[in-house]
Amino acid sequence: MNTTMKSFRQVLANAKNVLILTGSGISAESGIPTFRGAGGFWRKYQAQNLATPEAFAANPSLVWEFYEYRRRVASEAKPNMGHEAIADFQNRYLEEGKNVVIVTQNIDELHQRAGAKNVVELHGSLYKTRCTICHEVVVNKNIPICPALKEKGLPDPNIMTSDIPREDLPKCEKENCKGLLRPHIVWFGENLDEYILEQAYTAVENCDVCLVIGTSSVVYPAAMFAPQVAQRGIPVAEFNLETTPATRHFE
């Protein structure tokens, strides 16, 4: 064991408040597509162009097909050894009376399925919906989410249109509402939920050690969390297959 690793293990053993930051890299082994970079296409659409309020307003049917596909892939995926190791580590530390908060950019809930607790989901969840009228957020793990989306969302590049009638798309269960539902996801151009952001900032401010696992550290505000911890003189360890724009902050 090299000196750096030995020193880090000692720091981790003495820590009372651990912050774990995770991103899409930790779910890649479970078969969850990242939809980032040159290969980030669903059908012939660049996924980032579908994950916007404007895309949903223009064609909610198409966007719901995209998310039905993502929900199905995530529901069929299984937590991998990375998720399980984080959950085991967290549970062991919690039993010792320590605090471990997981702040994730992922929306697949694989951390929770591996047994993790205290998971702050920065970008929402594939298994939650939000009403566009009354704004109520509801957990929904049904696959398909509604009858009209059964067997829809196939990533066939020859399918370019989607014309499910608006009234057949997921809608609010409230009798006096019945508004169109949307995925409870923070889309491009939208702000993070203030309560969720507050939870993340509290974890950043209180931690005495930080682990960065499977995130490229380029999406804000999450990209600022580890550098902010490092600026306070708190040890930060990065676990990624490649160096990232944030790596230099942790040396």
Mapped onto helix, strand or coil, the DSSP state of residue 201 is: helix
Any idea which residue has 């829809």 for tokens? 152
The residues annotated with a catalytic role in the active site are: 123
For residue range 27-48, what is the model confidence (pLDDT) as tens digits?
999 999 877 655 678 988 988 8
Give residue 222's pLDDT: 75
Q: Where residue 239 sits, what CATH number does that domain have?
A: 3.40.50.1220
* Alpha-carbon span 12 to 20, nearest angstrom: 12
pLDDT per residue over 144-183, tens digit each? 999 999 999 999 989 988 999 999 999 999 989 999 999 9
- Total number of domains constituting the chain: 1
Q: Which of 7-16, 59-68, 176-185 has the lowest mean pLDDT?
A: 7-16
- Alpha-carbon dihedral 95, 96, 99, 104, rounded to 10 degrees: -50
Instruction: Enter the tokens of residue 185.
Output: 């996801």
Higher per-residue pLDDT: 64 or 9: 64
| pLDDT above 90: residue 194 | yes
Range of the structural domain that residue 235 is part of: 3-249
Mean pLDDT calculated for residue range 64-85:
97
**Using an 8 Å Cβ cutoff, are 114 and 89 in contact?**
no
Closest of 80, 70, 15 to residue 45, by C-alpha: 70
Instruction: Please state the residue numbers annotated as binding site for substrate.
Output: 67, 70
Residues 106-154: pLDDT tens digits?
999 999 999 999 999 999 999 999 999 999 999 999 999 999 999 999 9
pLDDT range class, residue 7, cuts 50, 70, 90? confident
- Binding-site residue ranges for NAD(+): 105-108, 214-216, 240-242, 251
- The whole model's pTM is what? 0.91
Which residue, among 237, 234, 233, has the nearest Cα to 207 in the 3D structure? 234
